[in-house]
Amino acid sequence: MSIHPLAVVSPAAEIGSHVEIGPFSVIEPGVTIADGCRLGSHVVVCSGTSLGPENQVFQGAILGGLPQHMQMSECPGRLTVGRGNVIRENVTVHRSLYEEGETTIGDRCMLMVNSHVAHDCRLGNDTILTNNVMLGGHVEIGGKAFLSGGAAVHQFCRVGRLAMVGGMARVRQDVPPFVTVDGGSTMVVGLNRVGLKRAGFNHTELKQLKAAYRVIYRGGMVWNEMLLQLQQLFAAGPAREFEPFFRTGTRGFVQERRTPPGATVRLVREEENHEAQAIALQMINKMAG
């Protein structure tokens, strides 16, 4: 164990072996830090936080801070961090809003500079949040999802496994697994092919996901019919994850950017067109007069 003399470590904290704690860091009572963790300078680990083994926390990070909520409980819950995570400079992660609740971060995640994880979020294994990503309360992020710089996710939204969210996206609905969301439009633009290949998906699995994607976004079906098709056609393989994800959503789902075949384009009625032309002509005459 290596604790810098300028660090403040509560005697009521549990510190494992081979832990390094840098200068001016603060470890509050009720904290558990498992073996092999390394904390840089000015790190604050608040009460109710548990760090698994081999986590690396960089300068200025604050783990287990109180929830940002107007109706915060007098006894907020916990923050539990898995093993092997990299938490970079000035990251903030808040504990649960509820006494029996828990904010959780899985294993081998990377939270880059200035990213924020609010109360009661759940991050799956191997998740990456790049610089300045913001997660509202109760957000769920699936394993191996990738959120690009400055993306913001509204509270209670979900981002599915192996989804890729583009920079500066404003996610206000659930992002299905395996897809790519464009940062400019915050709309689905296809499968996350690069992420899927890096995750070891084979040609057959990619082909199946492509077929399921077409059922979801290109089939032109009503909602219940789409769910039934997914359930019947993709009972096995990675595409089987789509149906339960869609069935359990509560906030709606991010749509595809392209207009699906057969979509109805609303045309302006003739009388509405004449009225618009008359208003425009009046404005032109008024400016000319």
- For 34, 63, 93, the CA distances from 39, given in Å and listed in that order, are 12, 11, 15
Told to judge if 116 belongs to the known catalytic residues of this protein, a careful annotator would answer no
Quote the DSSP letter at residue 146: E
- Is 119 among the catalytic positions? yes
Which DSSP helix (H) or strand (E) runs through 90? none
H or E element: which one contains 196?
helix 193-198
For residues 9 and 26, give the distance between their C-alpha atoms in angstroms, rounded to a whole number: 6
Sign of torsion over alpha carbons 32, 34, 40, 41: positive
Candidates 120, 138, 166, 183; catalytic one: 120
Read off the tokens for 83: 């093993």
Contacts 24+ apart (CB under 8 A), 167-170: 167/130
- Residue 252 to residue 98: CA distance in whole angstroms: 26
- Residue with tokens 């084979």, as numbered in its chain: 202
CA of 31: how far to CAs of 10, 38, 194, in Å?
9, 15, 39
Tell me the HSE value of 17 on the side-chain side, using a 13 A CA sphere: 0
Round the CA-based radius of gyration of the chain to a whole number and report it.
24
Nearest to 135 by CA among 165, 162, 108: 165
**Catalytic one of 137, 143, 166, 183:** 137
Q: How far apart are CA 245 and CA 132, in angstroms?
A: 27
Active-site residue flag, 195 = no
Catalytic residues: 119-120, 137
